[in-house]
Structures are given as structure tokens and as C-alpha cells.
């Protein structure tokens, strides 16, 4: 649902929310932990710094750290930095007008509650919640409900 850039930003911020409040983290260390190419992460962190979410310090003891409390940063706020305003009522089918109670859009009645639920989830989910819930190594997480792949024998 969110772009790769938003996902990279959220992963990096989860690590900073855990470790980057007391001491700054270097770009290379953060890139390794978040599994994001350093050059790509550098651009993401610049956006987050301009938005006042991070603080960047140069020099011997420099790096990145949280400027704002992770409990005050919602996933929606982060996503909108990279996705733009998520509130726009754009039509799921790409019709050239806002998708409100539009008779021309055959999926509006089904789509609107889902869109509203997604926005509500992004609004109530904070960076602090993610930092507490996501394990140290997200790559080790296995979803019990994951579908098994079909294999030919």
C-alpha cells in the first residue's frame, strides 16, 4: 500500500526510535540495520530532517537522531512526506473527478470504507508503537497466516 520509499523511511525510523534518542546513528549503520542502500537512505533522511522529525549532526560524534518523540509521529505523517496528501478522495478507477458519492464510480461504495479504515489505521499508528512491536531483526518474523507457494513436483 505504501511506496518503497515510505517503507524504507519507516524501517529506518524504527531503528532510530530505539537507538537514536540517546546517541546519533551514522548513516552507514542505519542503512545496514534498515537494509536500505546508503545513497537512497541519505535522500530519505534529508527529507525527514527538513520536516523536523530528525536532527542531523556533522563531525566526529555526528549522525542522525530523533528530534521529535516517536509517540507523537504517526505513520500517516511519515507516509505523507513521501506520498503526498493521502486524504484526497481520488477515484480508485482513475476517473477525472473526486470520488465522493459519485454515481459514475461503480466501486465507490465498496472502496470508501476501506480507504477510510486505512487512513484511520495510519492516523492511530505511531512510530513508538512500531518500535515497540517490531522485533530487533524484522527479517526473522514469520507470519503464521502466510500463504504457501504452489510447487510442482
pLDDT tens track for 19-38: 866 789 999 999 999 999 99
Q: What is the Cα–Cα distance from 143 to 31, expressed in whole angstroms?
A: 24
Q: What is the pLDDT of residue 125?
A: 97
The grid cell for 139 is: 527479517
Q: For residue 112, what pLDDT is reported?
A: 80
Burial 41-56 (b: 16+ CB within 10 A, else e): beebbeebeeeebbeb
All residues at 6 or more sequence positions from 87 whose CB lies less than 8 Å from its CB, including other chains: 119
5, 48 contact by CB (below 8 A):
no
pLDDT of residue 104: 65
The stretches in the chain having pLDDT less than 50 are: 140-143, 146-153
Indicate the class that CATH gives domain 4-136: mainly alpha
Amino acid at each position: 500500500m505504501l511506496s518503497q520509499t515510505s517503507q524504507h523511511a519507516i524501517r529506518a525510523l524504527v531503528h532510530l526510535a530505539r537507538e537514536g534518542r540517546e546517541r546519533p546513528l551514522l548513516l552507514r549503520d542505519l542503512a545496514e540495520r534498515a537494509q536500505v542502500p546508503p545513497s537512497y537512505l541519505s535522500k530519505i533522511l534529508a527529507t525527514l530532517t527538513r520536516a523536523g522529525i530528525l536532527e542531523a549532526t556533522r563531525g566526529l560524534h555526528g549522525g542522525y537522531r530523533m528530534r521529535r518523540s516517536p509517540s507523537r509521529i504517526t505513520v500517516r505523517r511519515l507516509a505523507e512526506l513521501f506520498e503526498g496528501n493521502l486524504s484526497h478522495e481520488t477515484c480508485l478507477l482513475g476517473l477525472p473527478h473526486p470520488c465522493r458519492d459519485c454515481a459514475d464510480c461503480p466501486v465507490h461504495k465498496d472502496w470508501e470504507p476501506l480507504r477510510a479504515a486505512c487512513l484511520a489505521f495510519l492516523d492511530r499508528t505511531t512510530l513508538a508503537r512500531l518500535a515497540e512491536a517490531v522485533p530487533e531483526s524484522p527479517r526473522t518474523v514469520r507470519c503464521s497466516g502466510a500463504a504457501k507457494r504452489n510447487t510442482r513436483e
